[in-house]
Chains A and B, each alone.
Chain A
């Protein structure tokens, strides 16, 4: 059998469920329309300069045709010929063409870049407006892949495909128009090849976009395995996985090249179709046109012009075919980007404001999936300025309870209130001016140290920033940095230790100054030496605030005013350290083991 079947394994098939929505066709269409509307003038200008460029490019064939006509009409006609004038016209057309081709390339790029910039900026605007609850649930992985992979794919589509397709279509239409004007009877000859082209292209474009997607995913997987082997060098060596990693790499190479072979087969069908189309067009124009000339219906000059224009059709047709599938691939990426627009931005009730600082949970039930409650009938009261420690085994629901108290999730039933107002109904901006959640994630943003602090209070001056750093014992190393607050930190800049990253997170809290803090194992990823040092900084930050600490080290619990032991989605023990030790339950047993 001739031909290659698509490989069974598809590396582009999703392995994990899509965590954020993908745009519906209507959303995508609306977005494209909006984008076009925004850049209407640039689009029209591109079409206009392109028209001039193409029309002037046809001057050559036209002038040559008239020359051929004169010369072949015999000596008399040839003598009347003003060759200098024609050459001058030819040169003028050429200069016009060169200038306008320059303009077409430049304007095409400018338009493409503008659209691309709009697209990526729009996406980030949407992304930073996502409700915190959506982010906590979905994680940032899906968003990250959209802003890297999908923006990348769209880049070549916007930068090249859209302008080039616009150029190509205009070009073809004008060339055909030129043919109709200069040699009307020849126009139908061009159409003979159309059915072949249509059938071939339909076959190809039905298969190509998804095949190229799989091929690209397959190639990315080859590099991904290698990157992982490098990253996990020590683990790979310790577990003697080297041979398996090589096998895995070879398997990925096999999977990738299987798709390369398939797409190569697709092109092996498309290429002869395109070549045959071009030759058929040229051949039919010459043969049919030639017999017309022999019949005396058209002149030899018209035939020459027609043949040369038919020859010129190669470029725009190749251009369209080259970029068409890029556009198809881009559609999928675009749907993933605008999908973020389908998520309701977090509006909240603007008029709702807390009156007081006491946090209150009343008969709260909560679950991530319908029918499975992670928290059951949890009631809790945290008076202003109290330190509450949540302890309990992993998976008991401590972190979930923390997120409910921080207003990130809304309870399924029951209420969580701050100063009598329901947290889940307030806007994220309002909530965070009162309550902050601090987790293990101490992200240091790429950029100046100043920006890393300013985000907490954008109008703070340098003195306030230094004061905040001082409050968390970070001014020592910060002052030692070469450029002070202007020092570039994060990946690519000065690399901060985890402890320094944590101090920056704490300094942000000092600046943001919320009266209630939820700490989710905030120091758990630090080594003990750093943790001990940080706890002093932390203690200063916590002073005077209401604190809910999800603790996995018992000495944190020991220092708290109230300890809640969370087991199996319920609060099983509640009281001060001394009370719980006297009660002699699970906490007491653990404490004894810990403290010896």
Chain B
């Protein structure tokens, strides 16, 4: 797989039974890439390690006063240079390609899993985990994928060099061959401690960042009421804690660096001492001694990869475990369904509460308990996020749970209490799978979005058309009421056979709400619409109002009628306390008398 061919047309089905299995699965899928990296790595490290031989050869040539051999050493060195440069560049290309293709594959797998899980994600702790895998764990897994072939090449090279030294100069070579494993393993016992301290530092840094973002997010409150110094002090403390943790962690790394200087240095001294004695006895040449010295010096480079692989492995193990867990999450209901994929039409009926929304009419539902209203609204769409014992809602007599998920969602659109605006331009926001009967302009005007368009085009002076203005993540730059109206416009543009809206105008002012109620009514003419609300302005415009009390339909009628006939209804809708309700009863009687009098 080359980078330019990404993304994968199909990222495959991962082996997500466990973290290590997932890593193996990733590796198996890029065996070619790993092999390529290994071979280029060998060329690189072997060329690097050959340099000392050239240096020793050159020094010996000079000692022997041989110009020709010096020139030959130069030629060899140039050859090594080509090997180093080519090997280094190609190793880097191959290793980075491995990490990018692995990271892209995991990101694609995550995107697909998330899309399948859909609403099931919002109620689970899993939501945070998916994001954590995507933002942090993918990189760590990629690091291991990248490092493994480089490490193998380095390890093979060290063995090769030791063997070569033993063959080239047994007396000195054996010292190096014994010393090398000690050097390779010396800092490994310190690494867990160092990474623990680094983790602690990251945790502290995360806390400080959290405090800073939190302070900035609430800055308007602070500036409006006070307490800036209190929060600054708190942040300063957290910031200093980060600093102390970082220095503590640096102490460990400084110690590791010192050991990495000291141990190879001791090996060098041993080589020199032993070497000089051997040279004095005439058993080795000066050039050979320089070669061995130079080789020990240069071997510290491939040696560093022992440290890298140990850290990459310890970081990526928990990451792979988390990734495997996220990739094996499943939905509560069977999204395939047991019936044919047809989109039903007809009356919407919920057997649990007895709620009936006749086809083609505008039904408003009043429900004293907002949580119960939310659950009922979700149930009206079928395929609830959590598994439920309750019977499925029916459209035209067809249980929605038995339909494939896609068909159920096309039949009924449920807009929940907190619809999310996806970032992008306004045009993209309103470009949703739709029946095509309602144009974006019609939907925007029915949802009274005129001022939102103004606000958006003000915020984006470069966009000529408000439709090209960008909506930031979750529509944070807009007010609560503006967000609500845009979400409503999106639902209206979909124009489904059945539309269920849960408190669609709770953050909208009364003037605008009244106009929206008219807009919804005229735009949804002839289609089934259910609105959960307690606002008289919406209830007044519904064909049919249903009061759901303690999980059952308690009254059905029209707003004005219910307002007069049903005390429970009046309490919910007019927000009166019981005393007020009694008083209202009186004034109401008076009003009736007045009406009778004028009549």
Contacts and interface: CB of A to CB of B under 8 A. Distances in A.
B236 interface: yes
B337 interface: no
Contacts of B54: 286
B332 interface: no
Interface in B84-103: 84-86, 88-89, 92-93, 96-97, 100
Interface stretch (A172-180, A245-253, A375-383, A477-485): A245-253
A151 B242 CA distance: 13
Interface in B258-275: 258-259, 261-262, 265-266, 268-269, 272-273
Contacts of A291: 67, 70
B84 A275 contact: yes
Identify the interface centre among B54, B214, B510: most chain A CB within 10 Å of its CB. Answer: B510
A27 interface: no
Range class of the B interface residue count: 35 or more
Contact of B213 (A102, A130, A148): A148
A128 B246 contact: no
A235 B261 contact: no
A169 interface: no
A99 interface: yes
Interface string A257-289: 110110010011001100110111011001100
B152 to A, nearest CB: 20
Contact of B272 (A57, A67, A231, A524): A67
Contacts of A199: none
A553 B227 contact: no
B326 to A, nearest CB: 10
Interface string A236-257: 1111111101100110011011
Interface string A487-523: 0001110000000000001001100100000000100
A256 B232 CA distance: 37
Nearest to B255: A102
Interface in A42-96: 57, 60, 63-64, 67-68, 71-72, 78-79, 81, 83, 86-87, 90-91, 94-95
A228 B473 contact: yes
A308 B297 contact: yes
Given A124-B215, A308-B294, A230 B534 contact: no
Given A260-B100, A393-B509, A128 B266 contact: no
B168 interface: no
A148 B4 contact: no
Nearest to A314: B301
Interface in B312-333: none
B294 A245 contact: no
A454 interface: yes
Interface string A543-584: 000000001111100000000000000000000000000000
B74 interface: yes
Interface stretch (A32-40, A113-121, A183-191, A355-363): A113-121
Given A275-B84, A524-B480, A593-B540, A120 B212 contact: yes
Contacts of A246: 111-112, 115
Nearest to A555: B575
Contacts of B474: 231
A525 B298 CA distance: 66
A17 B413 contact: no
B167 interface: no
A395 B290 CA distance: 83
Interface stretch (A138-146, A328-336, A418-426, A465-473): A138-146
Nearest to B136: A223
Interface in A401-434: 428-429, 432
A98 interface: yes
A529 interface: yes
A79 B279 CA distance: 11
A555 B572 CA distance: 14
Interface in B196-216: 205, 208-216
A68 B286 contact: yes
A232 B51 contact: no
A105 interface: yes
Given A226-B107, A268-B93, A101 B258 contact: yes
Contact of A596 (B58, B222, B298, B540): B540
Nearest to A134: B223
B62 A394 contact: no
B472 A16 contact: yes
Interface in A100-114: 101-106, 108-110, 113-114
| Most chain B CB atoms below 10 A, which of A155, A242, A505, A554 | A242
Contact of B510 (A159, A429, A447, A590): A590
A547 B85 CA distance: 75
A242 B59 contact: no
B279 A71 contact: yes
Given A230-B114, A528-B575, A143 B216 contact: yes
A271 B370 contact: no
A596 B565 CA distance: 13
B3 A140 contact: no
Given A87-B273, A94-B266, A458-B227, A141 B111 contact: no
Contacts of B459: 16-17
Nearest to B562: A596
B81 A240 contact: no
B289 interface: yes
Report which residue of A108, A132, A228, A279 has the largest number of chain B beta carbons within 10 angstroms of its beta carbon.
A279
B503 A105 contact: no
A120 B220 CA distance: 20
Contact of A245 (B70, B111, B381): B111
A462 B84 CA distance: 70
A279 B78 contact: yes
B190 interface: no
Contacts of A224: 473
A60 B205 CA distance: 41
B122 interface: yes
Contact of B422 (A235, A256, A551): A235
A581 to B, nearest CB: 13
Interface-central residue, B93, B242, B286, B450, by most chain A CB under 10 Å: B286
Contacts of B229: 458
Nearest to A252: B107
Interface stretch (B26-34, B127-135, B348-356): B127-135
Interface in B564-587: 572, 574-575
B314 to A, nearest CB: 21
B260 to A, nearest CB: 8
Contacts of A524: 480-481, 506-507
Pick from B51, B55, B97 the residue with the most CB of A within 10 Å: B55
A293 interface: yes
Contacts of A454: 227, 230
Nearest to A557: B510
A126 B396 CA distance: 62
A9 interface: no
A201 to B, nearest CB: 15
A99 B258 contact: yes
Interface in B475-533: 476-477, 479-482, 485, 490, 494, 503, 506-515
B232 A128 contact: yes
A280 B115 CA distance: 55
Interface in B19-75: 51, 54-55, 58-59, 61-63, 65, 67, 70-71, 73-74
A202 to B, nearest CB: 19
Given A101-B258, A130-B219, A257-B7, 13 more contacts: A102-B254, A136-B220, A226-B130, A227-B131, A232-B420, A233-B117, A238-B415, A257-B3, A303-B59, A308-B297, A398-B509, A440-B507, A553-B510
18 contacts: A68-B59, A101-B261, A106-B250, A106-B254, A113-B250, A128-B228, A232-B422, A249-B111, A253-B104, A276-B81, A286-B54, A286-B74, A290-B70, A304-B59, A445-B218, A521-B481, A524-B480, A552-B510
Closest 9 CB pairs of A and B: A455-B227, A395-B451, A109-B250, A552-B509, A279-B81, A237-B118, A249-B111, A443-B218, A105-B254
